[in-house]
Structures are given as structure tokens and as C-alpha cells.
Structure 1
Amino acid sequence: MAKLHSKLIWVILITLLLFVGYLYWMPGQKTETRRAGTAVAVSTATVQTMPMIRSVNALGTGISNQSITLVSPTSDFVTELNVREGKAVKNGEVIARLNDIEERARVTELQGILEDNKRQLARLKNLATTQATAQSLLDEQQTKVNTTLAQLDIAKAQLAEMTIMAPFDGYLGLRQVSEGAYLNAGTVITTLDDLNTLRVAFSVAEHYLADIAVGMPLTVTNAAYGTAAFSGKISAVDTRLDPVTRTVTVHGALPNTDLKLRPGMLLNVTLELDKRQALQISEKALVPQQQKQFVYKVDAQSKVSQVEVTIGQRIPGWVEILTGLEEGDEVVVEGIQKLRSGVSINRVGG
């Protein structure tokens, strides 16, 4: 009876061992079956050589290429006003005139005095040739001529101040006075802005200072025009950095013949630091392992193998490949978590 009981125990133990072995063996068989017979659905892409653009983004403010506020240089009445808001004016065009009757009269008076003094000087010079006049009288008359000339120059300058002209081509702003009004010195008449070229001022971290140079391309966008981009170039880089923010101020110049951009606008600036051709893949294809990067490369039999790659510059969505792949190689970009080397794939999606 004891022998029968002992045999029964051994039968139970052997049965348990066989069952445990079966549990471990079946998942492996299923995995091998899947590897051998069922292809994993993934998305793939080819390695391409494309432009690798490294850029920096910043917020900028639009400023006029040239901008002034036209003010009254003296106190008097406005006798002529040629201000129409938004009007394009040329260099030298009359914007306003002040009452200049006294100034014109003063110029005419001094011109008459000057002519008389010059005649007196010429007469004395003729007399001096016959020694009929003293040299002191000749010198005194020459002084009168010189003094009158200086007074005439001052009078002409005062007369010129009564006419306010555009110092450069541009567009007039809002009119602040009316014709016939009495203006005090310094009263604002209007503004003048050169809008055909708009400058954009923005700040860049000192980290990028060595990469920035005059003439580099940039683009700007503004909320008023959605995704429409306006292209320009760097026109100047400040010689000093802000000691608090550690940034440098950069100015860009943007052609603006259609006048879409205006001074004071908030502009989103993209500054292109570098542009070159580089071998690239989607960032989604990378499989990081410790300090290394791998991808799953697809062979001619639609099987994958894990390949180590060396990466370079990164831009949003893309990464440069320095070693490990060649142009035209096919790599897996989606479904990576289901893969191991040697697994067959089924391409789906794009």
C-alpha cells in the first residue's frame, strides 16, 4: 500500500513538471510562429538628402526705415497746409508754410543795403588806385559789406524756416493742425515715415552671436496676415549686448512696397542661421538605448535589422544622420515597439 502511495506522488510531481514546462514553451512557440509566419504592420520611410535649415525665432517690432515728427520751428500763423493723411510725398515737397511777410521784407531790405555797400566799396577801391582815399576807409567799407552778408544769411535762414518741407520720400501721418491756426514753436504738424522699407528690431541670445552676420536672410509673419511670410535680410547688429538679458539687438530690413507692414507691429521673426544639404530621417524612427541611437532598417526581403546610427543636427521633426545609413535606405517610423531584428514587416500607411 505504501509503494502504491509513493508511485502516485511521483506521477503527480511529473505531471506538474510537464504542465509547467508546457506553460513556458507555448508562448515561445507562439512568438516564433508570429515571427516566422505573421508580418508586423508598420509605416516606413526612406532616408533622404534634404535642406537642413537651422534657425532661431524671436519677437520683433516694426520700425520705419526713416521717421520724423514735423514741428513748427517758430511761432506764427499757418498760411498753407498740404497735409493729407497717408499721402505719399517726395523729398523737398512743401508740407506747410507759416506767415513769412516780415522775414521776406527783412531779406529784401538787407539785399538793398548789401548792394549799396558793394557800390560804396567799389568806389573807394577806384579812389584808392589814385591814392585819393585812406586805406582805413576802404577796410571799414569792406567790413560793412561782410557784416551785411552775414545778416542776409541769417535772414534767409529765418525765411527758410517758415517753409516746412519733406526731408525724404515718405508717407504723411495724421494732421494735427489746421490752416490759419497760430502755432507755437515746437507744435506738432504731422509725421513722416519712409515705409517702402520696414525695419524690424528684435533680440537674440548671445549664444547665437557668432552665427549672426549682416546680410543673413530672415522672414517675419504677423497675425494680421496669417501664415503669409515676408522676407528680408539683417541690416545691422548692435555693438553692445544687454548686460541684464544677455541679448543683442538685431535690425532687419524688409521690402514693403505694398505697405502691408507698419511701424509698431508685433512681428514673429525667423532668422536662418544655417542652410545645407544633409541626410535626414524622421525623429520617430530613432530608438534610443542608453547613450546610443538605433533605427530599424528594412532589407529587400521586408525584414528588419537594428542598426546603430550617429546623429547630428536636429530640427523640429527631423534629425541629421552622420553614419549608419545611406540615402535611399528604408527605415521604420511607426510600429517600432513591436519589432525585433529578423521580424518581417507589412508596410501600411505612408
Structure 2
Amino acid sequence: MSAFVVYLFLQNQSPEEEQKAKASATLVNTQIVSPSSLVRQVTSLGTALANESVQIVTNNSDYLTGLHINEGQRVEKGQLIAQLNDVEERARVAELSASLLDQKRQLNRVKNLAKTQATAQSLLDEQQTRVNITQAQLDAVKARLNEMTIRAPFSGVLGLRQVSEGAYLTSGTVLTTLDDLNLIRLEFSIAEYYLAQLKPGMTVNSSSVAYPGKVFTGQIKAIDTRLDPVTRSVKVHALVPNDQLELRPGMLLNVSVTLDELQALQISEKAIVPLQNKHYVFVVNKDNSVTQTEVQLGQRMPGLVEIVSGLNAGDEVVIEGTTKIRSGSLITKVGQ
């Protein structure tokens, strides 16, 4: 009889306790932890450089007789850019060519004489020396003559001209610049932490404030063999196609390098509760209580954070209302 009374008492109390529990439970939003696609990236600031870039200068001093610089226009490799006065060099080439031709004829006569007279061997050696000296002089003058004609060393775009036709130029005078802009060499630095993950051929995305919303994609071409001992970073060069010539040398670009693509656990960053040097989340139990659990964080994305350890796929965590609860608190879920 007494056992029956106790049973009725417990039955009568449980609804009240349940109501009290519900009244004391905290309203929260939760999220089910599940794996999703994650792109590991590292970001940096980079500078655009021309793939090939030179200053067009003179190697000799003389008057500028011809200037073929269309500023901002494309030229092909070998195309004429400037011409210096070369009258003296042409005359000298003609003189030495004639002299060389005469000396070669004399050399042939001495060779025929040496076949019958042994004493002619010394004359043969002397004449051969004269031919060699004249040939060397002719080669030197021809080289100087070629330097009076300035041609594009590679295909590219000409910059602003720095001289005028008819001016007397000294050796080393800058005429203009030449840049190969079809490919941009993007230079940026990456922290030492990511060095082992960097490889030539990786995809590089870049953007500029000059072209909002546009992404310029390229690939890593080279990684420096040395790190900066001050910043502990490594310099990286990437090649970015620039067919429309939108990018210019000297531009500042925002750079992101795709290191890896994988499936990883990600949750809302609002679920993270930082405490000193550690990070925690509130995991929902089957009885709607929560347990504060330490987690290790990985890469952060806008609004999301990767969970390296501490959670499993299928776990449920609190993402809103974390400031109102503690480990062991009862919750009422109002959304997921």
C-alpha cells in the first residue's frame, strides 16, 4: 500500500518538475556539425611587375637621326626603335672591306709562291697576320655600326620617350622603356609557416582596386631559395596572363594562394567561446543539456571556422545564446 502511495506521488510531481525544467531552460539556436568543402588559402599583398622590362639606352655617342617611338604602342622583337648617325662607321666598314679583299688576294699569291720557294714561308706568315688584323678591325667596326641601330630586344609595349630626334646623345642615354605586359610577374611574400605547402604551379588569384570585383588568375612560377631573416617570409613570383593589358607594373594587388581543397568540419564562428588561450563550444546532449568542450581551430573563413579536433560529424553545437549558458545548463532549441 505504501509503495503505491509513493508511486502516485512521483507521478503527480513529474509534470510540475517538467514544467519547471522547461521554464528554466535557455532559448538557443544550434547547428549540426557536418563536413563541407574547404579551400585552404593564404593571403598577401603583391606588386605587379612586367615579365620582361628594360630601359632602351644608347651604347655610343652621336646624333639621333631617326626615332621610331610610338608611346604606349606594341613593338615586335627586332623592330627598329632609333637610329644614330652612322656615316663614319659605314665609311670605315667599306674601307676595311676593300683592304681585306686586297690583302686576301696578296695572301693567295704568296701561297702560290710558297709552293715553289721555301723562303716565301715567312712572307706567307706575315701576310696571314695582316689579313687577320684587318678582319678583326672590320668585325669591330661592324659591331659598332650595329650599335648605331637600336632595335627592340623582345616584343612588348614602349613607354614614354625621353629624347627628341636630332639631339646629340652620349653613351648610356635612356631613350624609352620596353615592357612585356602580356604576362605580369606578380611578386609577393608568404610566411615561413606555409613554405612546405608552396609549390610551383599552384593557383594564384589576385585583385586590384582599379577593377572592383574582377579576379586575375595565374600560377606560381618560382619560389625564392632564401627567406627574409627579418620578416621570416619567402618571396614568391607568379605569372598572371594580361592579354587586355589591364594590369600595369607597380600596381598593388591583393593575393590569395590556394594551398589545398578538402572536406573538413566547419561551424559558425558564433559558436566559439574563447577563454584565455583556448577555444570552446557548447555541445548539446540528448537530454537537451550542454557540455562545454574544448576544440582546436583551423582556418577561418568569413562567418565560419574549421574544427581540427574536439568535435565529430553529427554533433550539435550552440551558435546563439552561448553567453547565457554554462556546462550542464538545459536549453530549448528554437532554430538550427
Per the normalisation by structure 2, the TM-score is 0.82
- The aligned residue for residue 335 of structure 1 is 321
Pick which of 118-127 and 238-247 moved more: 238-247
Give the C-alpha shift of residue 86 in structure 1.
1.0
Query: Within the alignment, does 1:314 sit opposite 2:299 as a pair?
Result: yes
Query: Within the alignment, does 1:254 sit opposite 2:254 as a pair?
Result: no
- The aligned residue for residue 268 of structure 1 is 254
Q: 1:146 & 1:174 partners in 2: Cα distance?
A: 44
- The aligned residue for residue 184 of structure 2 is 198
CA deviation digits over 1:156-213, x for unaligned, max 9? Answer: 1000000101111111000111222221211111000111111122233333333333
Matches within 5 A, 1:61-210: 61-131=47-117, 134-210=120-196
Q: 1:207 & 1:105 partners in 2: Cα distance?
A: 65
Pick which of 29-38 and 154-163 moved more: 29-38
- The aligned residue for residue 334 of structure 2 is 346
Give the C-alpha shift of residue 215 in structure 1.
2.6
Give the C-alpha shift of residue 287 in structure 1.
4.7
Pick which of 270-279 and 103-112 moved more: 270-279
- The aligned residue for residue 8 of structure 2 is none
CA distance change for structure 1 residues 212 and 330 in 2, over 3 Å: closer, same or farther? same
Q: Tell me the secondary structure at the aligned position of residue 53 of structure 2.
A: strand
1:211 to 197, 209, 219: 197
CA distance change for structure 1 residues 86 and 53 in 2, over 3 Å: closer, same or farther? same
Q: Tell me the secondary structure at the aligned position of residue 319 of structure 1.
A: strand
CA distance change for structure 1 residues 30 and 271 in 2, over 3 Å: closer, same or farther? farther
2:218 to 232, 247, 255: 232
Percent of paired sites with the same residue: 51
Pick which of 267-276 and 177-186 moved more: 267-276
CA deviation digits over 1:74-100, x for unaligned, max 9? Answer: 111222211011111111111111111
Q: 2:82 & 2:246 partners in 1: Cα distance?
A: 28
Give the C-alpha shift of residue 305 in structure 1.
4.9
Q: 2:63 & 2:118 partners in 1: Cα distance?
A: 53
Give the C-alpha shift of residue 224 in structure 1.
1.0
1:242 to 228, 245, 249: 228
State the one-letter code of the partner of 1:315: R
Query: Within the alignment, does 1:283 sit opposite 2:236 as a pair?
Result: no
Give the C-alpha shift of residue 30 in structure 1.
9.5
Pick which of 182-191 and 233-242 moved more: 233-242
Q: 1:205 & 1:294 partners in 2: Cα distance?
A: 29
State the one-letter code of the partner of 2:121: Q
Give the C-alpha shift of residue 127 in structure 1.
1.8
Is the CA contact 1:304–1:345 (under 8 Å) kept in the aligned structure 2? no
Pick which of 304-313 and 158-167 moved more: 304-313
Q: 1:227 & 1:44 partners in 2: Cα distance?
A: 34
State the one-letter code of the partner of 2:306: V
Q: Tell me the secondary structure at the aligned position of residue 145 of structure 1.
A: helix
Is the CA contact 2:29–2:333 (under 8 Å) kept in the aligned structure 1? no
CA distance change for structure 1 residues 132 and 338 in 2, over 3 Å: closer, same or farther? closer
Query: Within the alignment, does 1:49 sit opposite 2:13 as a pair?
Result: no
Pick which of 150-159 and 237-246 moved more: 237-246
Q: 2:187 & 2:202 partners in 1: Cα distance?
A: 15
Q: 2:115 & 2:279 partners in 1: Cα distance?
A: 104
Return the index of the structure with the highest Cα Rg.
Answer: 1
Q: Which segments of 5 or more consecutive residues in structure 1 lack a partner in the other structure?
A: 1-28
> How many residue pairs were aligned?
317
Query: Within the alignment, does 1:324 sit opposite 2:315 as a pair?
Result: no
Pick which of 217-226 and 151-160 moved more: 217-226
Give the C-alpha shift of residue 48 in structure 1.
3.3
CA distance change for structure 1 residues 168 and 34 in 2, over 3 Å: closer, same or farther? farther
Q: 1:323 & 1:207 partners in 2: Cα distance?
A: 23
Is the CA contact 1:38–1:344 (under 8 Å) kept in the aligned structure 2? no
- The aligned residue for residue 24 of structure 1 is none
Give the C-alpha shift of residue 135 in structure 1.
0.3
CA distance change for structure 1 residues 79 and 293 in 2, over 3 Å: closer, same or farther? same
Q: Tell me the secondary structure at the aligned position of residue 126 of structure 2.
A: helix
Q: Tell me the secondary structure at the aligned position of residue 134 of structure 1.
A: helix
Give the C-alpha shift of residue 276 in structure 1.
2.2
CA distance change for structure 1 residues 48 and 161 in 2, over 3 Å: closer, same or farther? same
State the one-letter code of the partner of 1:187: T
- The aligned residue for residue 280 of structure 2 is 293
Q: Tell me the secondary structure at the aligned position of residue 42 of structure 2.
A: strand
Is the CA contact 2:25–2:330 (under 8 Å) kept in the aligned structure 1? no
State the one-letter code of the partner of 1:62: A
Per the normalisation by structure 1, the TM-score is 0.79
Q: 2:20 & 2:252 partners in 1: Cα distance?
A: 58
